[in-house]
Every structure is written in structure tokens, then in C-alpha cells.
Structure 1
Amino acid sequence: MGTVDASVVDSWRGITSWLEIHAPVTFAALAPPASDEDLRAMRDDVGKNLPDDLITWWRLCNGTGLADGNGMLLPPFFEPCSLHDVLAKRSIRVGSGAPTAIHNATAATAGSPAGAFLASFVPIAADGGGDLLFVDLRPGPRHGCVQHWSGEDGTDGGPWWTGVADMLADVAGALHTGSEARRRYVETREQHVQASTNQAAVDDGRLVWTSTPRDHPLLGR
């Protein structure tokens, strides 16, 4: 199923090697790879092909064992979901009890705002409070991008990353160089959207992300 994305493999190797040395609690929270059965179940649930970079990541790591804060791998505060958890979250949001989401499954194009959680959205990480990161499988040039879903506001700030490969490369770079993660998103977001870049830190063996609010560059502040 799918073609291996070499860039994902390289980024993941960089991420895990850093975690093993600097944040062993977070490293230990990462689950083993997803099985072929899990991946087939996900493909059947979504009803369309999944991006190669997403499949490659899940073949390397099936989320975290527990959503307890130890596996806060993705900035600013998200833990990767297991495929079992992804299916459960989709069942709640786009199952038979969510006809609005089913009706709007192909509304607009990938990366555009959405007030309802659509059937073309695949959760990949959660903060434990209702917010998610998801891969947007709607058609269009930004197909496969990673967006933020707010439990209160939906999604309207534009993609955080162009895809899972871009997301993992951003995280790996932030870990190894001390650079700010999500900086490109902050620099290209809509003017009305507030956002912060994030830098990696370690707290008692756990990876944490510190936030630095950034003004939109076009506002001149």
C-alpha cells in the first residue's frame, strides 16, 4: 500500500535519534509501527488512497501509547494518534451520526476553511482537549496538507504544513538546529490569524514546545 517516502524515513530517523538522547520519556511513548491490517482498515474507512508520506509515517510509528502528555511530539502540544484512535475520532465526527460532515465531504478544496469536520479529514494528532491536526484529502493543489482543527472554531487559518513529510522535516530541523518550528506558516498566514512559532525544549525527559507570538510581517510590527 503506497510508495515509501524516503524523506519521511530520513526525518523520522533524525527525530527519534534526538529523542532517544535528549527526551527519553517522549521516545519511550512512541508506539511500534502500524500493521498492514490497521492500514487497510484506515483506507477502507476513508474510502480513498492515503498520501504516501502519511502511510510511510504510520509504517514507522503507530502514534503514542497513551495521550498523557509524554508523547507531545508535534508543536505546539499535539500527540500523534494511533490508527485505532484515528478511526474512533472519525467515527464520532463523520460517522452515521454526523450527516452534515458526510454531506460536505468534498466541499471546497484542500486547505480552505471548514466549519464542519469533513469526511475527507484524517486526524493524525490530538491535544486531549478537542483540538486536532488532520490531513486534508479534499481535491486541489494543497491535497494532503496538514491543518489544525479547533474544537471551537473549526479550521480557518490555512495549512500549517504542506504535508506529513513537510511537518516531520520541520520538527526534525527544530530539534537538531534549535530553529523555530511552524515559522513558514506564521510568515504566510492570513493577516487576521494570530500564530506563534515554537522551539523545542526538554522538561524532565519530555519534549515540550515553547511558543513565541509573531505579528504578521505585512502589519509592520
Structure 2
Amino acid sequence: MTRPETVTFRATTENGEVVDNPAGDAIRALMDGLDTTDNTFVIIEPIEDDPSWYMVISLRHGDTFEVERRDLARQEHELADQAGRASVAEAAATWIAQRRTPRQHWERAAVESLDEAGRRIEAWLRTNAPVTFTSLGSPAAAEEVAAVARRLESEFPPDLTAWLLRHGGARGGQGLPLPRGFVLLGAQEMAAYTERRRKLDADAGDPEQDWYWPRECVGLAANAMSADALLVDCTPGAGFGRLGTHDAVFGIEFDVASDLCAPSIGALLTEVADCLEQGGHFREGFPSWDDHPERPAVLDGRLIWRTDEP
């Protein structure tokens, strides 16, 4: 039987359930059907004699999954634990889109993911934390975002641009608080912060050192309690758009199981939206978060992230 030309990739679970061309919601549905006995994983791969890429999502326990991604053409292989069904499914759909569609289609998917997460966060803040909602920042003009990208000599990922177009302009407060003390920056703050961090490391010396700030990265969020930063990788290629952390002592980390690292801004904000709506711990089940779990709370109309410690 000849396969329809419109079917380009397929998801298959261990117990034989098959879905052609699954989008994020279909991947999520397949994940919901996994268990730890006889239906432990779903594999997604193109319909080719010798598949050029594949992804395997395996249930570990609860809401934690082991995600393996391999792209033979790009010589990439990643294996990491990830928590949060919605964010894992959304990140999977974005990763697959980068390999099966033209770039403009992937960009559209990334922006749609970011905008949906942004709408959910805004709705929750408007109802539950109105002071934070009013401090998110006005939309930045497209010309301003383009000017900041040129100033930093960087190509911005589409979801970074989309966030700045939502809340990258002037603001009346600190912006959106994230777990671990991070706060998202506006467009002009991002430019000034990135330039300052680049200069500090350039003045300090050796770019081969682990702590050196990569010139291809742009600061996305600053930490109110330390010199740590959340950054966006603007390097063309497979890592374009991923989020990493910069620690002045331990350097750069892009492991998605660590701190606030994520495949994209949209994936991270989807996790934040899930946590706000569900009220649980952020990234519950991640080993790096088990010692100091944080959950959203509201104080005087402001969103804060609170640990369960006395």
C-alpha cells in the first residue's frame, strides 16, 4: 500500500498505537496513555527507509519523562529527563517542526507556542496577581526590537521577538518573576545587561574559561539574588533559541534538566503557565529542584515563588 504523501512522520507507542503527523496535543495524548509496565514509551520518526532523526519519550515516574533526541544529519544526540507533560509535548512538536518543515513554518509554531503561554500567564496574573500584571511592561515596537538585535549583533529567535513584542517595552515595575529569583528583562534592559556581561568577561580574560559569557548569547533574565543570568542562545544551528544559565563560578549550562534551562522561551513559559494554573511545585520531579522546590504564591497582589521551607 502506498502511503499518502501528506504523511511525513509517525508516532508509535510500545503497545502499538500509531498516530500520523502528530501535533503537540496528539503527542500529549500519547504520553497520557503511557505506563510503567507494558506501554512505557512513544517513538516519533520520519517515514523513511533509514530515518534521519528520531525522538523517544519514555515515562520514568509521575510527570517525569526521559527524552532522547537524535538527528543524524546534524550529528546531534541528546538524552535528558524532563518534567511537565504539556511542556515536553510542546518542546517535542517544536523540535520535530524544525526537521520537517521550512524555517518559516517552524518560526510560526514557535511564536504560536509563546503567544499561547503568554495569554495564559497574563490571564492568571490579571485575576490573581494584578500588581504583577500591571508591571509586565508595554509592548515593544518592532523597530525597537530590531534595533536591539542589531546593537547586540545577534539574530533573535522568533519567540524571543514575540515576547518582546508583548512585554518588552517600558514597564511600571520589575516584570515577570520566574522561579529561583530570575526576572525577565525588557528590550532595552536586555541590551544593556548583555553588553555589561560581555564586557566584564572580555575584560577578565580567557574566552576558553567555562565562566566566559558567549558572544552569541543574549541575556533574557537577571537574578535579583545573585549574578546568575538566564540567557538565549542566538547561535545559528541546532541550538538556536535554547535557554541556558550563566553562573559566575560554574559557567554556562544548557542541560534542560538543570535550573531554568529549556529548549525555548515558549517551552519555559508553558511550564510557568502550567504551574500557575495548577498551583503545584515548579518542575516537580526534577532532581535539581527536589531540594528546594518552589511554588507560585501571591503577596500584596504580586506573584512570588515560595519554597516550602519554614
Match of 2:58 in 1: none
For residue 146 of structure 1, what is the aligned residue in structure 2? 243
1:35 is matched with which residue: 127, 135, 141? 141
In structure 1, distance between residues paired with 2:152 and 2:113: 24
CA contact (8 A) 1:76 1:211 kept: no
Aligned with 2:239: secondary structure? coil
Mapped contact 2:149–2:156 kept (Cα < 8 A): yes
Q: Does 1:176 align with 2:277?
A: yes
Aligned mates of 1:196, 1:97 — CA distance in 2: 30
Match of 1:219 in 2: none
The 1:17–1:131 alpha-carbon spacing in structure 2 relative to 1, beyond 3 Å, is: same
Q: 2:304 aligns with which of 208, 213, 216?
A: 208
The count of aligned residue pairs is 197
Residue 55 of structure 1 pairs with residue 158 of structure 2: no
- Equivalent in the alignment of 1:92: 196
Q: Is the 8 A contact 1:132 1:150 kept in 2?
A: yes
After superposition, the Cα gap between the structure-2 partners of 1:195 and 1:123, relative to the gap in structure 1 and judged at 3 Å, is: farther
Task: Please list the CA deviations of residues 6-44 of structure 1 after superposition, one character each: whole Å capped at 9, or x if unmatched.
Answer: 111111111011001101111111111111222112221
**1:216 matched residue in structure 2:** none
Contact 2:211–2:249 (CA<8 Å) still a contact in 1? no
Spell out the pairing of 1:78-157 with structure 2 (5 A cutoff).
78-95=182-199, 98=202, 104=207, 114-128=210-224, 129-138=226-235, 141-156=238-253
Tell me if structure 2 keeps the 8 A contact 1:29–1:64: no
Structure 1's 148 and 88: CA in aligned 2 closer, same or farther, altered over 3 A?
same
**Residues 172 and 194 of structure 1: CA distance in aligned 2, closer, same or farther (over 3 Å):** closer
- Per chain length, whose mean CA-contact separation is higher, i.e. which structure has more relative contact order (CA < 8 Å, sep 6+)? 1
Cα distance, 1:194 vs. partner? 8.0
**After alignment, is 87-96 or 6-15 more displaced?**
87-96
In the TM superposition, what whole-angstrom CA distance separates every residue of 1:50-97 from its partner, at most 9, and x where no partner exists? 1111111111111673665xx452112222111111111122122498
Q: Which runs of 5+ in 2 are unaligned?
A: 1-103
Query: Which structure is larger by alpha-carbon Rg, 1 or 2?
Result: 2
| C-alpha contact (below 8 Å) 2:294/2:308 kept by paired residues | yes
Q: What SS is found at the alignment partner of 1:124?
A: strand
In structure 2, C-alpha distance between the alignment counterparts of 1:27 and 1:208, rounded to whole Å = 12
- Counterpart CA distance in 2 for 1:133 and 1:207 is 19
Amino acid at match of 2:214: L
For 2:255, which of 131, 137, 158 is the aligned residue? 158
Does the alignment pair 1:16 with 2:115?
A: no
For structure 1, the 5+ residue unaligned runs are: 108-112, 214-221
Is the Cα contact below 8 Å between 1:51 and 1:144 reproduced in 2? yes
**In the aligned structure 2, how far is the partner of 1:96 from the partner of 1:177?**
40
Answer whether contact 2:141 2:169 (CA < 8 A) is retained. Answer: no
Secondary structure class of the residue paired with 2:181: coil
The CA RMSD over aligned residues, in Å, is 3.1
Instruction: Compute the TM-score of the two structures, normalised by the length of structure 1.
Output: 0.75
Question: Aligned partners of 1:63, 1:123: CA distance in 2, in Å?
Answer: 16
